[in-house]
Amino acid sequence: MEKEITIYDIAKDLGVSPATVSRALNNHPAVNEKTKKKIYNAAMEMGYQSNVFASNLRSKRTNNIGVIVPRLNSSFQSSVLAGMEKVANEAGFNLIISQSLESKDKEIANTHSMFNSRVDGLLVSLASNTESLEHFAPFIKKKIPVIFYDRVGNFEEMFGVTIDNMKAAHQATSHLIEQGCQRIVHVLGNIKVNVYHERLKGYKYALLDHSIPFDENLIIYSDLNEEAGYDIVQKIKSIEPRIDGLFVSNDACAASCLKQLKLEGYRIPEDIAVVGFNNDVISRLVEPNITTINYPGYEMGELAMRNLINHLDVNTENLLKNTNRITLRSELIIRESSKRK
Amino acid sequence: MEKEITIYDIAKDLGVSPATVSRALNNHPAVNEKTKKKIYNAAMEMGYQSNVFASNLRSKRTNNIGVIVPRLNSSFQSSVLAGMEKVANEAGFNLIISQSLESKDKEIANTHSMFNSRVDGLLVSLASNTESLEHFAPFIKKKIPVIFYDRVGNFEEMFGVTIDNMKAAHQATSHLIEQGCQRIVHVLGNIKVNVYHERLKGYKYALLDHSIPFDENLIIYSDLNEEAGYDIVQKIKSIEPRIDGLFVSNDACAASCLKQLKLEGYRIPEDIAVVGFNNDVISRLVEPNITTINYPGYEMGELAMRNLINHLDVNTENLLKNTNRITLRSELIIRESSKRK
């Protein structure tokens, strides 16, 4: 290991006092811009590392913010992370990212690891089988803010950033009904996850509002991946009386269903009108284009991160207690896959 | 701020010695499993944070590994990150992630920030306008390993993990020629980026090997996004003599071209045979399915991270000097968009 470069080395090299170097590197107003620049350049050239550890020990801050996602490998989550990173980077924070892989146990382990790494705050989208928020208690106890987003669980006591999933699903279902659909299949994920729970509610309420009876046989549970279309369409074929609408809880899976329906000879939207969710790229590239809910992941990431950073500078407890939920606007985008009129 | 919980508090609470608590938390074999578990549970309940700072000061390790990507919001990069996170997590490392947004200046700023955060190692996929690797010099000087992946630049002196882009493009172009194509358009990104540079070479060599003259008019530069298809197809329509093959450097853009070509009345693959790159989900969902190069992002992430972690434990310098490049296997996947025979 090479000897660590200190401010004394820089001072000696430039023929200024160590105090000037220290002030310059801390951007002190008493040092003029030209000198600052000279000292900054010399520090870079010589490979000086500001003593983050020591400074962290003093400030009790690491400037690291933890993010736990169900899967990194997801179009929605990568948009969210892109938004988070932008805000964090501009505010001088680093992002520490880990994935739960939809496992409660891995989420707990990641939470402990984030806690021991002393992150200044934590952003979490929950695993599908997480049943309690106990593992976040050490953060709350230490007054380290935790903000949930998208997958916020069905917990009332925590702070979360979401869209109005119920309303979005109500809109999607109502749109299908307005296009003349009476037998609408809803494809969704694990009902323990708040987003699917809320969307199922929205679907049911829309039927009710249009006096269409709810039929349990029209609900299909799926892992919503890009290959799920085959199985879903097999189920759809066996449903009597035959269906005329399909509302799928993500676009990749909706695209997979669309492809399979066409292979089976169904005309879209004439025989079956299709609506997806998320407004992923794929919804705009398949034929016909898929009607979907625009779910602004990037904006959600920005908003969640901005809120977290704000919480670091104020009396966290009160803010988190007084605000329970931030809801982002989402909207229905009508395209060819459902437009009959 | 609440008082920090120490091993003395845990020891007092459980009626054991502080030394036993310390050994248990460090997973020392002298403490039996039952006691370990009891101490571990108590530590969690009481909100004990292991003293990472102090331990870092001793070991000169932070257990943080930095990753700089051009964009988080990319199907390929999110696969890579998923692979990296898995390996890092299992080995007890955290991932600190930032994006350069394809800007050299932001990449330099991120590199400084990673250096000051004292990451143990750095994984980088370069921005498209990065022209030198000078900003990584402080890492090399401190013997902190830096590994490049995918976008490794056209630099001979650094260690990188890539696929054989030249060979992959040669395969894709040769396949189109074997299907009877003679006038093949190649759509690619900024030629300063090694991956596009290498693919263009592979395209040219394949033409040469099949005695087809290279025509500069058949090269189209693009930002390769999902909306680029319109402009690309306008250009294609104006080319004389008319083209019969299309090789696009990513699948989202290939899908966009496919859609536009069909709108213009071209039959795929009869009039124009199409090949993409990456094997993204989208290549399997559009019609016809797109022939593509399988580029295993997840495996690349695993491999790059495993190599970095190995370098932390050995004499880094020699290893990095002796190995210059790791090449991952890629392969052509033939589908309906190009199959004429």
- Quick check: B30 contacting A, CB < 8 Å? no
Residue in A53, A75, A262 closest to B57 by CB: A53
Q: Are residues A186 and A250 in the same domain?
A: yes
Q: Is residue B2 part of a domain?
A: no
Probe site for chain B from A27, A46, A63, A72 (most B CB atoms < 10 A): A72
Q: Are residues B245 and B270 in the same domain?
A: yes
CB-based contact A95:A117 (threshold 8 Å)? no
Question: Using one digit for the tens of pLDDT, what is the confidence trace for A144-187?
Answer: 999 999 999 877 777 899 999 999 999 999 999 999 999 999 99
At residue A51, the pLDDT reads: 61
Window B:137-156, CB contacts with A under 8 Å = 137-138, 141-143
| Pairwise CB contact (< 8 Å): B259 & A117 | no
- What's the full length of chain B, in residues? 341
Q: Are residues A93 and A150 in the same domain?
A: yes
Q: Is residue B335 part of a domain?
A: no
Q: Are residues B87 and B126 in the same domain?
A: yes
What whole-number distance in Å separates Cα of residue B81 and Cα of residue B67? Answer: 9
| Pairwise CB contact (< 8 Å): B98 & A85 | yes
Q: Which residue of A has its CA nearest to B86?
A: A99
Coil, strand, or helix at residue B9?
A: helix
- Quick check: B132 contacting A, CB < 8 Å? no
| Residue B311 CB burial class (10 angstroms; 0-12, 13-18, ≥19) | buried
- Quick check: A284 contacting B, CB < 8 Å? yes
| Pairwise CB contact (< 8 Å): A89 & B81 | no
| Pairwise CB contact (< 8 Å): B99 & A82 | yes
At residue B322, the pLDDT reads: 58
Please report, as a single letter, which amino acid is at residue A10: I
Question: Using one digit for the tens of pLDDT, what is the confidence trace for B292-308?
Answer: 999 999 999 999 999 99
The residue among A310, A298, A307 whose CA lies nearest residue A326 is A307
Rg (CA), chain A: 26
Domain count of the fold of chain B: 3
Q: Are residues A116 and A234 in the same domain?
A: no
Residue B1: pLDDT above 80?
no
Percentage of chain B with pLDDT > 90? Answer: 65
Q: Is residue B18 part of a domain?
A: yes
Residue A322: pLDDT above 80?
no
- Could you list the residue range(s) of the whole structural domain that residue B219 is in? 165-295
- Quick check: B71 contacting A, CB < 8 Å? yes
Q: Which residue of B has its CA nearest to A116?
A: B49
Instruction: Measure Cα distances from B250 to A131, B222, B246, B292, B299 in Å.
Output: 40, 11, 12, 9, 18
Burial annotation A247-261 (CB, 10 A radius, 16+ → b, else e) = bbbbbbbbbbbbbbb
Lowest mean pLDDT among B17-21, B39-43, B269-273: B39-43
Q: Are residues B184 and B236 in the same domain?
A: yes
- Quick check: B337 contacting A, CB < 8 Å? no
How far is the first Cα of chain B from the last one, in angstroms, to the nearest whole number? 73
Q: Are residues B169 and B288 in the same domain?
A: yes
Structure tokens at A42: 């010399």
Q: Are residues B191 and B286 in the same domain?
A: yes
Q: Are residues B120 and B202 in the same domain?
A: no
- Quick check: A329 contacting B, CB < 8 Å? no
| Pairwise CB contact (< 8 Å): A71 & B82 | yes
Q: Is residue B243 part of a domain?
A: yes
Q: Is residue A158 part of a domain?
A: yes
Please tell me whether the interface predicted TM-score (ipTM) of this complex is above 0.85: no
| Pairwise CB contact (< 8 Å): A53 & B50 | no
Q: Is residue B264 part of a domain?
A: yes
| Pairwise CB contact (< 8 Å): B94 & A94 | no
Q: What is the CATH number of the domain that holds B34?
A: 1.10.260.40
- Quick check: A237 contacting B, CB < 8 Å? no
| Pairwise CB contact (< 8 Å): A262 & B98 | no
Question: Using one digit for the tens of pLDDT, what is the confidence trace for A210-241?
Answer: 999 999 999 999 999 888 999 999 999 999 99
At residue A1, the pLDDT reads: 44
Q: Are residues A69 and A185 in the same domain?
A: no
Q: Are residues B157 and B301 in the same domain?
A: yes
What whole-number distance in Å separates Cα of residue A108 and Cα of residue A111? Answer: 5
Q: Is residue A337 part of a domain?
A: no
Q: Is residue A1 part of a domain?
A: no
Q: Which residue of A has its CA nearest to B47?
A: A138
Q: Are residues A241 and A145 in the same domain?
A: no
Give the number of C-alpha atoms closer than 13 A to the C-alpha of residue A196, restricted to the C-beta side: 18
Q: What is the CATH number of the domain that holds A264?
A: 3.40.50.2300
What whole-number distance in Å separates Cα of residue A3 and Cα of residue B163? Answer: 38
